[in-house]
A and B are shown apart, each in its own frame.
Chain A
Amino acid sequence: SQQGEEDPQALSIQEGENATMNCSYKTSINNLQWYRQNSGRGLVHLILIRSNEREKHSGRLRVTLDTSKKSSSLLITASRAADTASYFCATDRRGYNKLIFGAGTRLAVHP
């Protein structure tokens, strides 16, 4: 069974708006990562947040982690048409060399 589940499954917004995607997971984690996948391509790493961190920023990306609620969110500010892609969260547990992915959120940004 998958560790992470993204919400919503699909999101459609206009350019310039912010996009927020959420990820919930079931067991305690060591790290949580977010990846992006353009149609027909491999995944590209966006950001990693460790279990002792609460927030991280990278350019227009902001990731939060709430270990008490077992959830994370990815915020993309001032979205662009080029941000159109699927976004996945992935978690690992201490001592387990397995990165487990959720089902992803499909983001469509309209010009």
Chain B
Amino acid sequence: NAGVTQTPKFQVLKTGQSMTLQCAQDMNHEYMSWYRQDPGMGLRLIHYSVGAGITDQGEVPNGYNVSRSTTEDFPLRLLSAAPSQTSVYFCASSLTGEGEKLFFGSGTQLSVL
């Protein structure tokens, strides 16, 4: 049972480049979410999804897009990377969302030069 899988683990981008961070879970969880973690800031919610075809914004959605075409996958897209998006990104999932514990992936460390 793999749980929540994120790829890649590390990525370096130049300003203006685009890329997609992948997240997949094999636990049949309805709820999936993306967080970014910056030093001293804890985790901040970027986007979340309560099921296939449904997405919504979190605390810091600007500069990021998401889609949820299947229950298993929840990719995060950076359309035009900026240095302010240098961070560690975590994907997390739970069975239904509210009131449930989150299962986290191991993270993607992204640097934007």
Contact = CB atoms under 8 A, between A and B. Distances in A.
Interface of A: 1-2, 30-31, 33, 35, 40-45, 48, 50, 88, 90, 92, 94-104
Interface stretch (B11-19, B63-71, B72-80, B103-111): B103-111
A43 B90 contact: yes
Given A33-B101, A43-B43, A103-B40, 18 more contacts: A2-B41, A2-B42, A30-B98, A31-B99, A40-B107, A41-B107, A42-B90, A45-B101, A88-B43, A92-B98, A94-B98, A97-B97, A98-B59, A99-B33, A99-B102, A101-B35, A101-B42, A101-B44
26 contacts: A1-B59, A2-B41, A2-B42, A30-B98, A30-B99, A31-B98, A31-B99, A33-B102, A41-B107, A42-B90, A42-B106, A43-B92, A44-B104, A45-B103, A50-B99, A88-B43, A92-B99, A94-B98, A97-B31, A98-B59, A99-B33, A99-B45, A100-B45, A101-B42, A102-B42, A103-B42
Contacts, number: 68
Interface residues of B, number: 27
A88 B104 contact: no
Interface of B: 4, 31, 33, 35, 40-45, 48, 50, 56, 58-59, 90, 92, 97-99, 101-107
B50 to A, nearest CB: 5
A45 B97 contact: no
B35 to A, nearest CB: 7
B104 A97 contact: no
Contacts of B106: 41-42
B102 A104 contact: no
Contacts of A97: 31, 48, 50, 56, 97-98
A7 to B, nearest CB: 13
B71 to A, nearest CB: 16
Contacts of A43: 43, 90, 92, 102, 104
Task: List 6 A-B pairs, minimum CB-CB distance, nearest first.
Answer: A42-B104, A103-B42, A45-B101, A101-B43, A97-B97, A43-B104
